[in-house]
Chain A
Amino acid sequence: MNRERVKELSIKAMDLRKVVLEMIRKSGGGHIGGDFSVMETLVTLYFDIMNISPDNKDDPDRDYFVMSKGHSVESYYAVLADKGFFDTQELIDTFSQFGSKFIGHPNNEVDGVEMNSGSLGHGLPVAVGMALACRMDKRPSRIYTVMGDGELAEGSVWEGFMAAGHYKLGNLCAVVDRNHLQISGTTEEVMTHENLHQQVESFGWNVLEANGNSISEMSEAFQSAMNVDDKPTLIIANTIKGFGGGDVMENNVGWHHHVPNDEEYEKIVKAIDERREELENE
């Protein structure tokens, strides 16, 4: 990806954080910390990597995406809206409101959402199934899923790692949003994943690591995964929970699903604006 495009998408990721902020402020709930950590992963996938758009959403040859860490739905919806699947203002106005289709976890009644999620540990096995089916039909589709690092404690994730390795699913690429924090504390305190790279590699996967808050690094990792035909790829996206939200938010476990008050909101907006300006001037 050229520098201008990296800059453009990095700025987009900052702008979309503001959409997330508005959704959460208006609805009074959401999982903002993980939304901010995973944003560059989603922007890279939807605006650089995946063959998916409102025009080809029903094409069987499209690329497929499963948001396994469904609680980061605000960032997912914000990206889908920006991609043109639905209106951003409608999203902000109705997210989590009574009777809304924009439920607080992914809902496939919303255009662009492939599968419902919310219960953790579901996305990888589902993505394995999609990858198997697409390979059977010799389709060019690639399958992507994004998991949280706390989610890795779910046993079904490891069933999925095992099956994908067994079937050598080169058309499957999973991402772990490795922000090291979950609702009760650090992932290492709650249930350690210190050897994640080696663990998943031992299941027959190609494992890559990248700065998950860097559009260019994530793009490079996704491109690299496309060159591996005989193994699924896991990208450990090393991220900062709350990234972009400044000192008040970044790496702070309390922001898993905290709704910012007025003072915090002002600080977060200021931090996003400052980061955005830095990106503009790069």
Chain B
Amino acid sequence: MNKIPNRQAICEVLMEHAKSDKDIIALCSDSRGSASMTPFFKEFPEQAVEVGIAEQDLVGIAAGMAHAGKKTYCFSPACFLSTRSYEQAKVDVAYSNTNVKLIGISGGISYGELGMSHHSAQDIAAMSAIPNMRVYLPSDRFQTAKLIEALLTDDSPAYVRVGRNPVEDIYSEESTPFEMDKATVWKFGDGIGKKIVIVACGEMVRPALEGAKSLEKEGITVTVLDMYCVKPFDKDALIKAAEDADLVVSVEEHAPFGGLGSDVASVVSANKPCKVVQMALPDDHVITGKSKAVFDYYGLNAEGIAKTVKGNL
């Protein structure tokens, strides 16, 4: 079992680059521990800014620093970062086009038992709706590292959501196929029989892959798209995968509005119409529990995905 959460992978990449690039700045809102950024703050105090519990200030200050030449990374729980500082993300970051990377930690229902105040089930919708804001939900620590490496090379705004808990590895040190803003494509099955596409992002990629493997054993051909790049959405990959599909299923740790499922439905319906089923959190208060138990309750696991596929074929 992997014990390194994606947020730690971010810290490690930033620390590696911060040694030689003094313009890399990490900002926290009393969140350095929960962001796994304590080592960065200890080793690079000159490149670390603490703003206290003040998310609006966090993003505004980061935008000002970026405008004055810094490469800023803001760390705060996704629930607060995507809503409390939404206007700063819209105006000071995206509209002013400042080099700010917003890192939403403990995203989705990572804080499952802490209630709706701590859930971020709307962040994809909110951030995607802002022009000039990219939205990424990497699936494991290796892909997260690749994503941060890529983001370090550009100077445009982005929002990255990662979960609190370690997730099982999907990729590896040796093999992490990654192309910026292109979905990673997995194929299962012999191409005979029913063909389905599963599009997933973030922590839902792992159960999507496991579900696909079980479907393969039942003679179903499955293409899984790891759509870590929710915006810009990799339309081409989905259109290609949906070419002769009998069913497309989207899986996301998000409310059923304005997230991955909405993008999948609009792209498929406009280009390769076929049946599309969305799997997401409910439009309701999410049940209390640790995230795995909550995922299981709503069928957002390998079994639930396989069951949904079979029930819709």
Q: Could you tell me which A residues sit within 8 Å of B by CB distance?
A: 60, 64, 66, 108, 114-119, 121-122, 124-134, 136-137, 141, 155-156, 159-160, 162-163, 166
Contacts and interface: CB of A to CB of B under 8 A. Distances in A.
B151 interface: no
Contact of A60 (B56, B68, B98): B68
Contacts of B95: 116
B116 interface: no
The dominant DSSP class at the B interface is helix
A1 B252 CA distance: 63
A205 B54 CA distance: 19
A116 B67 contact: no
| Interface range for B | 20 to 34
B68 A125 contact: no
B109 to A, nearest CB: 28
A66 B63 CA distance: 12
B92 interface: yes
Contact of A132 (B59, B65, B97, B98): B65
A130 B51 contact: no
B66 A122 contact: no
Q: 3 tightest CB-CB pairs across the interface, nearest first? A: A129-B64, A125-B60, A133-B68
For A64, A122, A134, the residue with the greatest tally of chain B CB atoms inside 10 Å of its CB is: A122
A27 B63 CA distance: 31
B49 A130 contact: no
For B49, B51, B62, B63, the residue with the greatest tally of chain A CB atoms inside 10 Å of its CB is: B51
B91 A133 contact: no
B91 A128 contact: no
For B46, B52, B72, B91, the residue with the greatest tally of chain A CB atoms inside 10 Å of its CB is: B91
Nearest to A125: B60
A133 B100 CA distance: 13
Nearest to A107: B95
Given A116-B92, A125-B88, 4 more contacts: A121-B56, A125-B61, A133-B65, A159-B60
B168 interface: no
A116 B60 CA distance: 12
Contacts of B67: 64, 114-115, 126, 129-130
A122 B57 CA distance: 8
A56 to B, nearest CB: 15
Given A130-B65, A132-B49, A133-B70, A125 B91 contact: no
Contact of A130 (B25, B68, B88): B68
A152 B138 CA distance: 39
Contacts of B56: 121, 125, 155-156, 159
B88 A129 contact: no
For A115, A132, A133, the residue with the greatest tally of chain B CB atoms inside 10 Å of its CB is: A133
Contacts of A66: 64
B96 interface: yes
B87 interface: yes
B87 A128 contact: no
Contact of A163 (B61, B63, B91, B98): B61
The dominant DSSP class at the A interface is helix
B191 interface: no
B54 A163 contact: yes
Contacts of B72: 129
Contacts of B97: 108
B66 A129 contact: yes
A122 B92 contact: yes
A159 B57 contact: yes
Contacts of B96: 108, 115-116
B64 A130 contact: yes
Nearest to B72: A129
A162 B91 contact: no
B57 A117 contact: no
Contacts of A130: 64-65, 67-68
B190 to A, nearest CB: 54
B13 to A, nearest CB: 21
Contacts of B62: 129
Contacts of B25: 133
B115 interface: no
Contacts of B88: 122, 125, 156
A222 to B, nearest CB: 20
A237 B49 CA distance: 31
B176 to A, nearest CB: 33
A115 B98 CA distance: 9
Contacts of A115: 63-64, 67, 92, 96, 98
Nearest to B55: A159
B39 interface: no
A129 B74 CA distance: 12
Contacts of A124: 60
Contacts of B65: 129-130, 132-133
B92 A132 contact: no
29 contacts: A115-B96, A116-B92, A118-B91, A119-B87, A119-B91, A122-B60, A125-B57, A125-B59, A125-B60, A126-B67, A128-B64, A129-B63, A129-B66, A129-B68, A130-B68, A132-B49, A132-B65, A133-B65, A136-B46, A156-B56, A156-B57, A159-B51, A159-B57, A159-B60, A160-B60, A162-B52, A162-B54, A163-B54, A163-B61
B303 to A, nearest CB: 46
A66 B65 CA distance: 13
